[in-house]
Structure 1
Amino acid sequence: MAATRRNVLRGIGLSGLAVGGASLLAACGGDSGPATGSGATVKFGINEAEGSGPAYDRLKAIAAAYGKESDTEVKLNAVDHNTFQESINTYLQGTPDDVFTWFAGFRMAQFAEAGLISDVSDQWPIDGLNDSFKQAATAPDGKQYFVPVSYYPWALFYRKSIFEKNGWAPPESNNDFMELMKDMQGKGITPIAFGDKDGWPAMGTFDILNMRLNGFDYHMSLMAGEEKWDSDEVKGVFETWRTLLPYHQADPLGRTWQEAATSMGKGESGMYLLGTFVVDAIADQADDIDFFTFPELDSAIGADALDAPIDGFCVASAGKNQEAGKAMAKWLGSAAAADAGNAGADAPFIAANEGASTSSYNDLQKKSAEVVGAAANIAQFMDRDTNADFANTVMIPSIQAFLKDPDDIDGVTASIQEQAASIFG
């Protein structure tokens, strides 16, 4: 993540362990107390339900390690990912935990501007986190409100054994990609697994097609509301997507991303455009998973941009123990935190901290780090790069409307633009 030529976040300047499964909305900050040491308590809200898989296990391990190292009681409030996302505004305006999992990008900046998260600039610099990550942690006021822990690329994942069995190789061009999908169909395999029941996964398809067809700068300007959604460029994205839909699993709105991943795991689908967390749903096949980035669609644009979201932590401004929250947040960005999460983990967790050990990295993690490091431009994902209301209330239903009726591109884009004008002004 140290490449200075990469534009990581152009969009950012646009505006002892106690485990519990309580509802996010019921989370409450405790009385203010010492930051660390005997008698200290910090409340830690995470966006993974208890027992939900490797992501939960990693966060639990990180919390346990901090509790042991700092002699602090860490009260873990574990909530499933979608509930966490949907409840976050109510949560932060109520009585939130001291520290909580969140994302870099526009979404972090919005909370900073709204005064819902605390300035943690006094915790920076954090040893092992380079300037790219500091940039990702910085809001428009120039202060840091976020501590990165990991990142991951979105790409086309596949099972190596199935590719080898059928004599397939990762495509080097769009023509290769199309021929590969046709061959898969001819052999009774759905080329691309697809599930959008949760609303957000299909955003990744729009992102990559827009970056491949119109370029990274245009994509970020579009996310910022500076371009029109009923333009020929955006219509071209949906038109290209429409030509690819016959190669996707049908009826995606009735399928979760985990169910789509399982179809790839079973060999029913050949590939899946998703983040490396795809392995969380098919962890028993982790060693059989590989990936390639989406091929070039326009030689003038190239294929050097991709989504690679950065995950990390914020301190809630309404949290009762600010000192304890900031102390934990700083530690969460350390190599020790990353190593605690990765110890014995099979699923990908690519540490943001340059000092973290890579000895436990599997091949997928190593390749992910190399691919992201080589990318010229990094986007954070649609629902992180744009206004939260626009992403959730406009783009989710609009993309789903397109998936229901891919022939009504003019209607979908006109509706998006009308709503975008209202939200962005």
Structure 2
Amino acid sequence: MRAGTLLLAALLSAILLALAACSRNDDTAVPPPRSSITFLHYFTDSLSGGIDEMSQGFNNQHPALELKAISLDHEAFKTSIQDTLKTDNPPELYSYWAGARTASIVDELEPLDELWQQAGWDKAFAPSVIKAASEYRGKKYFLPLTQHYIAFFYNKKLFDQLQLQPPKTWEEFLAVCAALKARGITPIALGARDKWPAQFWFDYLLLRTAPYSFRQQLMSGEARFDDPQVRAVFARWKSLIDKGYFNSRPHPNELAWDSGANDMVFRGEAAMTLMGTWNLAYFSNNTHQWQAGKDFDFFPFPQIDPAIPTVALGPIDGIVMPKRAHDKAGAGTALRYLASAEAQRTFSRYSGALAPNLQVPDSAYSDIQRRVRKELERSPVFDFAFDLATPPPVAELGLDAFAEFLAFPDAYPEITRRLADEAAARFSATRAVKPAP
């Protein structure tokens, strides 16, 4: 009996030790690897605010998936996407610009209609945003992520010191510029080294002086860039240059929009700059620590012709899925999160953008963002900037022409004539390429 008892005790001890070992193995077991969803985007440098925080939010909620946000410089991105979309292993998701840019690659994209319906996104986004940004050839391809607004951002302390008020009309704007110039301050900082910042001047001067329908015709090739209404834009723009209202040293074509033009405004060397609401994040970052409404503020581009209805301008950034994406189910899971009010609220907080998702409440925005939102609501029309409103081959011609104009303002008659001829040729070439069914 004693021997039997000892044997039973030994067996029980062995079982307990085995169970303990199993328990320890379970505790220390390596979790299965997460599936990666690659998200290639252009939110870099001064435009990077919010992207990492938003991606981390997804990863925290999805232990089986990892959203890998990989950044690429704006200009490099424009070229690389054309190549990588056609490979057998593209990223699962890309950031992209709504409008003509997305329209130019739609043959390589996966329609999102089924996912859109399942997720109920028609209730999350305004019909106007869906129509302008998401729908192409009758299907939905683009998930809106941010909405920016182009306006003047100005040194408020400088304006207050000189007792200047944000101008509402062109005459008031010219008076403010003259007052600043008389005090030895550059009225307008323009950093057009990357070319795209100059387009905002062309866009707004046209949208404030010509019917919106004409601008649509111009962007689609139905009107020419040497039209009298276009030449009048360059003549008005030239008059500002001739009066010395823009920075000349360094020249706009040599100056960055952020560390150049923005910092001229920050230092008080210039009073204002025409830029997007990403400036909200730039001026309030750790380097500058400006407080919106106290140190800096914004005002809309002034009215020039009272008979012309106001048009608001800006980009809508979003996400597209390649047709050749390998993990479309995982990409769809990521898109569901990125479309959510939680994700878009996070991105808005750090980027300065407004969230296209209608479920993001006003209370989520800063005071200046709420005022931007009201300006957008007051505008009968919201449209994309030049390089997002016309096909990419034509957009590149225009950006080059704006840079040439800044270098040689007196040559604008010849610049517009050449632009008109070259754009007409590229529009013809674009129409000759028939879209896939």
Per the TM superposition, whether the score is higher than 0.5 is: yes
2:205 is the counterpart of 1:209: yes
One-letter amino acid matched to 2:265: M
Contact in 1 for aligned 2:133/2:316 (Cα 8 Å): no
Query: How big is the shift at 1:310?
Result: 1.1
Pick closer, same or farther for the CA change 1:70–1:130 going to 2, 3 Å. Answer: farther
Contact in 1 for aligned 2:146/2:348 (Cα 8 Å): no
Contact in 1 for aligned 2:95/2:318 (Cα 8 Å): yes
Residue 96 of structure 1 aligns to a residue whose secondary structure is: coil
Matched length: 380
2:305 is the counterpart of 1:313: no
One-letter amino acid matched to 2:60: K
Larger radius of gyration: 2
Contact in 2 for aligned 1:41/1:75 (Cα 8 Å): yes
Query: How big is the shift at 1:90?
Result: 1.9
Residue 75 of structure 1 aligns to a residue whose secondary structure is: strand
Residue 405 of structure 2 aligns to a residue whose secondary structure is: helix
Q: Distance in 2 between matches of 1:423 and 1:165?
A: 50
* Structure 2 match to 1:73: 66
User: What are the ranges of 5 or more consecutive residues in structure 1 without an aligned counterpart?
Assistant: 1-36
* Structure 2 match to 1:4: none
Contact in 1 for aligned 2:134/2:144 (Cα 8 Å): no
Q: Deviations over 1:313-360 (max 9, x none)?
A: 1112232212222231232111021123245x3x51211111124434
Residue 285 of structure 1 aligns to a residue whose secondary structure is: coil
User: What are the ranges of 5 or more consecutive residues in structure 2 without an aligned counterpart?
Assistant: 1-31, 429-437
* Structure 2 match to 1:332: 338
Q: Distance in 1 between matches of 2:90 and 2:296?
A: 38
Residue 74 of structure 1 aligns to a residue whose secondary structure is: strand
Q: Distance in 1 between matches of 2:49 and 2:352?
A: 12
Moved over 6 A (4+): none
Contact in 2 for aligned 1:262/1:281 (Cα 8 Å): no
Q: Distance in 2 between matches of 1:349 and 1:396?
A: 24
Q: Deviations over 1:124-143 (max 9, x none)?
A: 23142121222134444110
Q: Distance in 1 between matches of 2:79 and 2:240?
A: 30
Query: How big is the shift at 1:380?
Result: 0.8
Q: Distance in 2 between matches of 1:195 and 1:340?
A: 29
Q: Distance in 2 between matches of 1:137 and 1:299?
A: 29
Identity of aligned residues (%): 26
* Structure 1 match to 2:35: 40
Contact in 1 for aligned 2:148/2:314 (Cα 8 Å): yes
Query: How big is the shift at 1:38?
Result: 7.4
One-letter amino acid matched to 1:261: N
* Structure 2 match to 1:61: 53
Query: 2:347 aligned to 341, 347, 366, which one?
Result: 341
Residue 298 of structure 2 aligns to a residue whose secondary structure is: strand
* Structure 2 match to 1:262: 263
* Structure 2 match to 1:253: 253
Q: Distance in 2 between matches of 1:352 and 1:280?
A: 18
Contact in 2 for aligned 1:44/1:77 (Cα 8 Å): yes
Q: Distance in 1 between matches of 2:220 and 2:291?
A: 36
Q: Distance in 2 between matches of 1:295 and 1:75?
A: 42
2:305 is the counterpart of 1:298: yes
Q: Deviations over 1:370-401 (max 9, x none)?
A: 11111111111111100011112x11211111
Contact in 1 for aligned 2:38/2:67 (Cα 8 Å): yes
Residue 151 of structure 2 aligns to a residue whose secondary structure is: strand
Q: Distance in 1 between matches of 2:110 and 2:393?
A: 22
* Structure 2 match to 1:101: 95
2:356 is the counterpart of 1:352: yes
After TM superposition, list the pairs within 5 Å mapping 1:323-402 onto structure 2: 323-342=329-348, 345=350, 347-392=351-396, 394-402=397-405
RMSD between aligned alpha carbons?
1.8
After TM superposition, list the pairs within 5 Å mapping 1:169-188 onto structure 2: 169-188=165-184
Q: TM-score, normalised by structure 2?
A: 0.83
